[in-house]
Amino acid sequence: MRPSYHPLTLNEVIIQQQSAFPYAKGELSQLLSHIAVAAKVVNKKINKAGLVDITGGADNVNIQGEAQQKLDIFANNTFIASIKATGILGGIASEEDDEIVIFDDDLSLNGKYVLCMDPLDGSSNIDVNVSVGTIFSIYRRISPPGTKVVIDDFLQEGTKQVAAGYIIYGSSTMMVYTTGLGTTSFTLDPSIGEFCLTEKFMETPEDGKIYSINEGNYAKFPRGIKDYLKYCQKVDEKTNRPYSSRYIGSLVADFHRNLMKGGIFLYPKTESNPKGKLRLLYECNPIAFLAEQAGGTATDGDGNRIMEIKPTDIHQRVPFIVGSKNMVRKVEEFMSKYYEK
Ligand code: AHG
Ligand code: MN
Ligand code: MN
């Protein structure tokens, strides 16, 4: 036999999966490959963070009042340019742009899809060499092709997503995506510049022993969440240990670890922030889709499935509880004791 190294690349897997959609014209596949190219460009830049002048703030604040990092803007521009070039999208809703970005060239006006994205998630971690990510979510537009996309194209329930994914720029760079046929992961092989298949059908454990939450906010949490945290901290009779607390502060990285090992991520509502912090369109919905496709689940802690929430604003926030099925169920159980109610 001839010795060879032939990993399955992202494009090859996308082509395989495309055959499951007999009417697909390959447009979605093309879009995913363009996202991967932009991810490689952003990855290169992130790797050089300490060497070139891209760390730190950009003296700018986004619509959510958050200081933009230089890399937030670089990632945003890179993804927009790369994705626009496909002509498949009518427009984009991004964390870093106040309004939707409409593509009005002839090709894009006929684009069938729209995309929501968090170009750089966990960006305050970039200055300290901690994992960050990119999150995206794709919908079929509802307005007629040939016209400019409108806000309602973006305000669709998460159940309508046709694809979603993230890139994690970590100790290795990975892309994890779903088109509704399971959650698939790829690792960037820097020597050949390709995302290579890691796991075709990821399965998250139904139970886990890791909880991820910013406990600094403890005093402001609802009673149900406080009770759940006490439950996590109780010593388990079998293992003689409580659950482990792990919190990076990059949603993508915290979620990725829990997806692999089993665990739960919580960003609940508080009195001062009754809608939590994370954004429904470009953080919670795509992560919820990936979680569900891997056997996990995602709710708002008040019994509502994240993907069934009808959005009213592109930057809307939502309380977010995601991870292993039985752990999320347990949180809901604690929360329901205090429903008011
Ligand atoms: P972003 O960098 O896109 O604004 O997202 C940061 C988010 C998310 O990644 C993370 O889970 C959360 O903010 C952390 O918030 P706290 O610092 O309040 O814990
Ligand atoms: Mn984010
Ligand atoms: Mn961001």
* Structure confidence by residue, pLDDT tens digits, 309-340: 999 999 999 999 999 999 999 999 999 998 75
Report how far ligand 1's centroid is from the alpha carbon of 121 (Å).
7
C-alpha 50/C-alpha 8 separation (Å) is: 32
Q: Whose CA is nearest to atom 16 of ligand 1?
A: 249
Number of domains in the chain: 2
Ligand 1: residues within 6 Å at CB? 66, 95, 118, 121-123, 214, 249-251, 277
**Pair (29, 177) in one structural domain:** yes
Judge whether residue 68 has pLDDT over 70.
no
Same domain, 156 and 36: yes
The token duo for 94 is 């991004």
Looking at residue 62, its pLDDT comes to: 72
**Contact by Cβ (8 Å): 341, 221:** no
Which CATH number characterizes residue 160's domain? 3.30.540.10
Give the atom of ligand 1 at the shortest distance from the alpha carbon of 118.
Answer: 3
pLDDT value for 237:
87
Atom of ligand 1 nearest to the CA of 247: 19
The answer to whether position 160 is within a domain reads: yes
pLDDT tens string 16-64: 887 776 556 688 888 999 999 999 999 998 888 666 665 667 677 776 6
Ligand nearest to the CA of 252: 1
Instruction: Give residue 265 CA to ligand 1 midpoint distance, Å.
Output: 12
The Cα 91–Cα 70 span in angstroms is: 23
Q: How far away, in angstroms, is 277 Cα from ligand 2 center? A: 9
The answer on 297 and 176 residing in a single domain is: no
The pLDDT-based confidence of 146 (bands split at 50, 70, 90) is very high
176 with 58, same domain? yes
Q: Would 147 be classed as within a structural domain? A: yes
Q: Confirm whether 300 is domain-assigned.
A: yes
Q: What range defines the domain where residue 181 resides?
A: 10-199
Question: Do 253 and 282 belong together in one domain?
Answer: yes
Ligand 1 center–CA 77 separation, angstroms: 20
Kindly report the pTM of this predicted structure.
Answer: 0.95
CATH of the domain at 216: 3.40.190.80
| 195 confidence band (pLDDT: 50, 70, 90) | very high
Nearest-ligand number for the alpha carbon of 95: 3
SS (H, E, C) the chain: CCCCCCCCEHHHHHHHHHCCCCCCCCHHHHHHHHHHHHHHHHHHHHHCCCCCCCCCEEEEECCCCCEEEHHHHHHHHHHHHHHHCCCCEEEEEECCCCCCEECCCHHHHCCCEEEEEEEEECHHHHHHCCCEEEEEEEEECCCCCCCCCCHHHCCCCHHHEEEEEEEEECCCEEEEEECCCCEEEEEEECCCCEEEEEECCCCCCCCCCEEECCHHHHHHCCHHHHHHHHHHHCCCCCCCCCCEECCCCCHHHHHHHHHHHCCEEEECCCCCCCCCCCEHHHHHHHHHHHHHHCCCEEECCCCCEHHHCCCCCCCCECCEEEECHHHHHHHHHHHHCCCCC
Tokens 């759940």, residue located? 228
CA of 324 to the centre of ligand 1 (A): 21
Mutate to test the pocket of ligand 1, among 70, 166, 250, 257 (most ligand atoms within 8 A of CB): 250
For ligand 1, atom 2, which residue shows the shortest CA distance? Answer: 122
Q: Are residues 273 and 176 part of one domain?
A: no
180 and 288 part of one domain: no
CA pair distance 45, 126, nearest whole angstrom: 11
| Co-location of 178 and 52 in the same domain | yes
The ligand with the least distance to the CA atom of 265 is: 1
Position 222 in a domain: yes
The CA–CA distances, whole Å, from 79 to 36, 119, 313 equal 9, 7, 22
Q: Is 239 exposed, middle or buried (0-12, 13-18, 19+ CB in 10 A)?
A: exposed
